[in-house]
Structure 1
Amino acid sequence: MDTLSGLAVFVRAAETLSFVTAGRALGISASAVGKSIAKLEQSMGVRLFHRTTRRIALTEEGAIFFERCRHALQEIEDAQAQLSQASDAPRGRLRVSMPTIGYRLVLPVIGEFRARYPEVELDLDFSDRHVDVIEENFDVVIRGGQPADSSLKARPVAPYRFVVCASPDYFVRHGVPRQAQELSAHVCLRFKYQSSGKLQDWLIDGAAASCGDAARAPLVFNNAEAVLAAATEGLGLAYLPDFLVRQAIAQGHLQTALDASTTLEGVLRALWPANRHVPPRLRVFVDFLAERLGGTAGAARASAI
């Protein structure tokens, strides 16, 4: 156990490159950190840190040892967590990030989740920017599109498809498009991705459609809720996920067009760091979303990943 404790001190010091910061995190003095590392170096016969009066730095041997130790300690922590997981009730804080429009899917079922798991504290972040799951210390993010980061595990939670829609008043004034070619004669409300500044394509009959009246500039938005509001005000045609416009259609504020031709389907996925243990609160949250939002079919349970 002394050796394991010494390794934990070494790893924390290597991560922070500061005996003071490492000691503060471990609840011991900087002097105790230095003595523990000196004892470890003596037992191994290898110097792990270069030391000056102002800073410390890993030696070449120390850097190699650090990578092996960090992995080994993580394995031990994961094994301990797995042993206790079965008896643990889901509890604690869960930081979740999702697109701004995600609240339309998630908020209607949050009350049920809270009733099932009252000890889980949800910290929900709604943002259209591309967040860094690991750097910003989120437990899980909800995103559309194909996951491109191999350091993240993914689970489908909510399928959706895009629809072309506009207000009844707009269709009375401009007509209802019957085929993709007719979109060029309409005012199109375009969504612009914040991360890249690119306009979203409208996938009609399997291809990107040419949309927008050539005589007038399109209206461009970087927020899907703003596109929805503009569509209900009769300002043009919108191309939006079905879950976002479902309520407006039910209330008669919007109508769809080209239903048989809109071919873009997708799925919102839950993504979380692959190298972290999945705590009960995260497992039950992802399972719950997949169960309630339709992403369960064809997907492995998060508890089995």
Structure 2
Amino acid sequence: MDRLGALSAFMEAADAGGFTEASRRLGISPSAVSKAVIRLEERLRTRLFHRSTRSITLTPEGRLFLERCRRIAAEMEAAELDLAQIHEAPRGKLRFSLPSAGMPFMPMLAEFQKRYPEIELDIDCSDRLVDVIEEGFDAVLRTGDAADSRLMSRVIGGYRQVVVVSPDYLKRRAIPETPDDLKEHACIMYRQAATGKALRWPFRLGGKAIDFEPHAATITNLLEPQLVFARQGAGLACLPAFAVQDDLECGRLETVLDRYLEGITTFRLLWPSSRHLSPKVRVFVDFIAEHLPSKLQM
């Protein structure tokens, strides 16, 4: 504790440019400040200040030591804040953005809201590329790599894409055996928000991408319409496996061309980088990391 007091006296004297002003800030006598700094210099065997009758100035060693002391003080402040936040109840508005494919996760988010009733969830469900910082989001769920250095990132899990079709459709049309066969089928395509173009289906074989030109019978910018059209037998759709799990289990839909869909898409949770993570964001990140992976398993 004596060392911490000496460091505090040294930093105040350096900031104030004298022992008298430092003593006023610390609420002790000027001689106490001076003695604390002298003891510190003796322990370090280094002169920290050049002294005159009217002022003090830092030596080169003193400037170097002051930088280190400020980092120590900042770490202590951060530790105190972290401990204080442990006892603070998570509360306030939490803005969260996730892709339209994340609609099946809504029951999970409802469970989070029930567990933390003092957190107000403000959910943006869209496929546009949001600016997390500028738009004030506390967290976003997105696919792919994390490219923004202003954001923290945590991999939550991965999922497969599957091509699904209704049994009724297959009663009327031959089962496609290869991606090339899709030229003779009605495909329900997804329009990318960024480009306005239909998203190609991620067919691969032996690690090599397969290019094909589908017949787009329907194009939409949301997952739900694709799923409805597929259920109604209007064509084939390429969707995240977690979004069609119930349909596959009850036989409402079935998959085709599985051997050509070998890739895994990564889900990441991202939030603004900050030295102090607020309680509401901390519990949200931990909750999503605990519960979302089970929704992706298939």
Tell me, yes or no, whether TM beats 0.5. yes
Question: 2:22: which partner in 1?
Answer: none
Question: 2:122: which partner in 1?
Answer: 123
The amino acid across from 1:169 in the alignment is D
Rounded to whole Å, the distance in 2 between the matches of 1:266 and 1:114 is: 27
Tell me which moved more, 157-166 or 276-285. Answer: 276-285
The amino acid across from 2:246 in the alignment is Q
- Give the deviation of 1:250 after TM superposition: 2.6
The amino acid across from 1:94 in the alignment is L
Say whether 1:249 aligns with 2:248. Answer: yes
Rounded to whole Å, the distance in 2 between the matches of 1:289 and 1:239 is: 25
- Give the deviation of 1:101 after TM superposition: 2.6
Cα shift readout 1:173-200 (whole Å, capped 9, x = no counterpart): 1121122332222221111111122321
Q: Residue 97 of structure 2 contacts residue 124 of structure 2 at CA under 8 Å; is this kept in 1? A: yes
Question: 1:13: which partner in 2?
Answer: none
Question: 2:212: which partner in 1?
Answer: 210
Cα shift readout 1:19-55 (whole Å, capped 9, x = no counterpart): xxxxxxxxxxxxxxxxxxxxxxxxxxxxxxxxxxxxx
Rounded to whole Å, the distance in 1 between the matches of 2:107 and 2:183 is: 37
Question: 2:196: which partner in 1?
Answer: 197
Size of the aligned set, in residue pairs, is 225
Cα shift readout 1:219-264 (whole Å, capped 9, x = no counterpart): 2211121111121121211111011112222333211112232123
Give the secondary-structure state (helix, strand or coil) at the position aligned to 2:93.
strand
Give the secondary-structure state (helix, strand or coil) at the position aligned to 2:159.
strand
Question: 2:68: which partner in 1?
Answer: none
Q: 4+ runs of 1 displaced by more than 6 Å?
A: 74-77
- Give the deviation of 1:79 after TM superposition: 5.6
Question: 1:113: which partner in 2?
Answer: 112
Quote the sequence identity (%). 44
Question: 1:234: which partner in 2?
Answer: 233
Q: Residue 96 of structure 2 contacts residue 139 of structure 2 at CA under 8 Å; is this kept in 1? A: yes
User: Computing the radius of gyration over CA atoms, which structure comes out larger, 1 or 2?
Assistant: 2
Structure 1 residue runs without a partner (length 5+): 1-73, 296-305
Q: Residue 157 of structure 1 contacts residue 286 of structure 1 at CA under 8 Å; is this kept in 2? A: no
Q: Residue 155 of structure 1 contacts residue 269 of structure 1 at CA under 8 Å; is this kept in 2? A: yes
Q: Is the alpha carbon distance of 1:264 and 1:199 closer, same or farther for their aligned partners in structure 2, counting shifts above 3 Å? A: farther
Say whether 1:142 aligns with 2:144. Answer: no
Cα shift readout 1:46-92 (whole Å, capped 9, x = no counterpart): xxxxxxxxxxxxxxxxxxxxxxxxxxxx9898565324122222222
Question: 1:169: which partner in 2?
Answer: 168
Say whether 1:102 aligns with 2:102. Answer: yes
The amino acid across from 1:201 in the alignment is R
Q: Residue 95 of structure 2 contacts residue 137 of structure 2 at CA under 8 Å; is this kept in 1? A: yes
Q: Residue 143 of structure 2 contacts residue 268 of structure 2 at CA under 8 Å; is this kept in 1? A: yes
Q: Is the alpha carbon distance of 1:160 and 1:237 closer, same or farther for their aligned partners in structure 2, counting shifts above 3 Å? A: same
Q: Is the alpha carbon distance of 1:79 and 1:132 closer, same or farther for their aligned partners in structure 2, counting shifts above 3 Å? A: farther
Rounded to whole Å, the distance in 1 between the matches of 2:185 and 2:267 is: 30
